[in-house]
Structure 1
Amino acid sequence: MITCVVLIGFAFLLQNIYSVGSLVGILLILLFTQVTLQTKTLIRVSLVITFFVALSTWLLGDLEKSLFSALRLLAIAIPAPLLAGTTPPADLIRTLQAARLPSFLTLSLMLIWRFLPIIQQETQRIIDANRLRGVNLSLQPQHWFKGLFIPLVFQIVAYADDVTIGLQTRGYDPALPRSNSKPLTWKIKDLVFGVGVVLILLGVGYIEWGMQANIVN
């Protein structure tokens, strides 16, 4: 999580299209090699980015600025799914507990993290159910409220009730100390990951500031 925040903050500091492009290229390589992505998702994201670049170029009249804005947007957006796709929820929760965060905050983050894929699955099921009834929500936005949002709200409420009942039946008490069957330990791959992130930041930082200093000199 700290790495994700650092990468996002670092992306805001970059002002050179080559440095931002290098950072995005590295993040895309990591994303494609470490996370399984659906072809539909890639096509939709590509279309959105293309539309964004085309619209920005038309409004600003500057292709380079439009590409820079799109690359910065990608540099800000990619770290989060990369973290989510490479970090199991159990490891994330153990990390939050090791950081001595309040129990209620850890539980809230865990439930939100687990809820995101569930809401995606429920949304797809509702869309498929509407399609079987002859309602194509992508072409009929007038049915979104009663055909998608209302069933989705009921599913969210049902999920919240199930979680509440599950916590109550298991005697969950946020005031009691938590036990951990798999305590966190520092491993070689953690060292490799940390060194790799530092090298990436140093390389992109050199492209951003070091090369400019050499050009000025």
Structure 2
Amino acid sequence: MPTNYGSSDTSNSAVRRYLTVIGTYYLKQLPEDIQRKFKNGQLWENIKEEFNYNCAYCGRKQGEVIEVLVKRKPMKKELILEREHIFMMNQEDVGLHHPGNIIPCCNPCNNSRHKKTWIQHLEDICAGDIDVFQYRKEKILEQIEKYQYSSIKESELLKIRETAKKLYKEISSITETAANKVIEDLITHSTLKG
């Protein structure tokens, strides 16, 4: 009997929540006004403004009309910038929900990143235009530095990663066990009634 009932989604959600909580710890090390602005959304507006309301990867401007596929049909849509975690919030990259790890990104760039690092993604998008690549790379690195994200020590990241991986496995196991128990109970109950 197959046992994969979406436990990876549950585990990924738990890891993202864990990284959000850890991010709060590091956020408290920033000045109070930054903390307040991050919590109330004002800092997100400031970050978009610092990037001139452009996607950090491709440079498209918020509000620009773009063509997207909706149910496999092309449609015109106004570009909206989304929060992109430079270092992904997963058990490998252990990116934290922290202002130094957030840049504005358009939906097409966000959806095309997949498992690439931010630098690999930027290289792909800039397609060999070294000057544009260098400019956007420096802008992203400035973001990381400005909000002291780079001050997180490698030893701390190793500990965070180790715990994230354990959490992922534990949540996956708990989810699988619970789902299989319910299925067994349903089968038993169904057999008794049938």
TM-score normalised by length of structure 1: 0.29
More helix by share: 1
Higher Rg: 1
